Amino acid sequence: MNAMAGDRSGENTTPTPLADYEELPQGHFYDPDAEYEPDPEYAATLAPDAARQRRERIGPTGRPLPYFPIPGPLTDHGPAKIIAMCNQKGGVGKTTSTINLGAALAEYGRRVLLVDFDPQGALSVGLGVNPMELDLTVYNLLMERGMSADEVLLKTAVPNMDLLPSNIDLSAAEVQLVSEVARESTLQRALKPLMADYDYIVIDCQPSLGLLTVNALTAAHKVIVPLECEFFALRGVALLTETIEKVQERLNPDLELDGILATMYDSRTVHSREVLARVVEAFDDHVYHTVIGRTVRFPETTVAGEPITTYASNSVGAAAYRQLAREVLARCHAE
């Protein structure tokens, strides 16, 4: 009899989840067991081992998943922290991450400005703007003295989030800037008057380490490096970190690598898991706990011209970018 009672008390020692973990509002936390619409297959890509992750609170990077608090409202805004979304490798999720991190920060009441710094204008397209129809773009702001940002700024459909759009005109800046005085800090000077109005400015870089990207790094306080979880992910990252270090030494001592963001992760493939493990091995604490899974919903949002946080607000992809926003805010607060 007594022995049985003893057995039962043994059962009770299984760890209970932390209270705050339970209380997070729906849609704000990536909970492997929650029901997301309407993409159960995608939920499976992130959580083959949901029960264990939940019990031990292990994140997809294999490290214990900290709790990232939901940020409280702000009474004052600015001065802005400037984040450059940067990787010279193409198609790794820079633009997708800029739009959706920006939209998630804006949902949390932060004032956000997104800067399209790629002549392809993909960020502008992703927010429903047709770059071909623009008279004024970030190019004019960079190259024309006396041009004010208000003339170029566009409001987006997301409250609290504005856009400095771009189009193919910007490709001329790369050439024209070469002969300018202090050519690396042109974007920094252009953004200065806007700093007081925003909490976060996120710059979507083009896939190169040319003068435009150096301008973005010179203007930025932090860099986020998205890495696609595929075989050649780490190729070229050494060159990127070298470039970041050079900009730190010569142009912008405040610049810091905020984090490496694993994107397009599919935990059902051994390959994806191995790449993520190697990235964590190489960059350790620099790797965000938040990992973005692979889903067709992201290409869909580009066609829809809006962030996933509004296009599919209850999707795992939206929850992942909300968690990333909270992780980025938590890192900023920790300083």
Binding residues for Mg ion, rule: CB under 5 A, are: 94-95, 122
Site string for ligand ATP, 25-64 (x = CB under 6 A): ----------------------------------------
Residue 103 near which of Mg ion, ligand ATP, none (CB within 5-8 Å, type-dependent): none
Q: Which of residues 200-229 bind ligand ATP (CB under 6 A)?
A: 207
Least distance to ligand ATP from the beta carbon of 45, Å? 9
| Torsions phi, psi for 184 (to 5 deg) | -75, -20
DSSP state of 18: P
Q: Which of 45, 53, 96, 166 binds ligand ATP (CB under 6 A)?
A: 96
Site string for ligand ATP, 247-266 (x = CB under 6 A): ----------------xx--
Report if residue 311 touches ligand ATP, rule: CB under 6 A: no
Residues 6 or more apart whose Cβ sits within 8 Å of residue 207: 87, 88, 89, 90, 91, 94, 118
Least distance to ligand ATP from the beta carbon of 126, Å? 8
Q: Which one, 127 or 292, has the nearer CB to ligand ATP?
A: 292
Q: Which one, 263 or 309, has the nearer CB to Mg ion?
A: 263
**Which residue type sits at 227?**
L
Q: Which SS3 state, helix, strand or coil, does residue 263 take?
A: strand
Q: Which SS3 state, helix, strand or coil, does residue 102 take?
A: helix
Report if residue 94 touches ligand ATP, rule: CB under 6 A: yes
Q: Which SS3 state, helix, strand or coil, does residue 154 take?
A: strand
Say if CB 172 and CB 77 are below 8 A apart: no
Residue 69 near which of Mg ion, ligand ATP, none (CB within 5-8 Å, type-dependent): none
Cα separation, 174 vs 164, in Å, equals 17
Report if residue 91 touches ligand ATP, rule: CB under 6 A: yes
Q: Which SS3 state, helix, strand or coil, does residue 195 take?
A: helix
Determine the interface stretch with ligand ATP among 63-71, 128-136, 185-193, 287-295 (rule: CB under 6 A).
Answer: 287-295
Q: Which one, 294 or 322, has the nearer CB to ligand ATP?
A: 294
Cα separation, 1 vs 162, in Å, equals 68
* Residue where the block lists tokens 């800029």: 98
Q: Which of 90, 159, 210, 236 binds ligand ATP (CB under 6 A)?
A: 90
| Helices and strands counted in the chain (H then E) | 16, 7
Residues 6 or more apart whose Cβ sits within 8 Å of residue 72: none
Enumerate binding residues for ligand ATP (CB under 6 A): 90-96, 118, 122, 207, 263-264, 292, 294-295, 298-299, 302
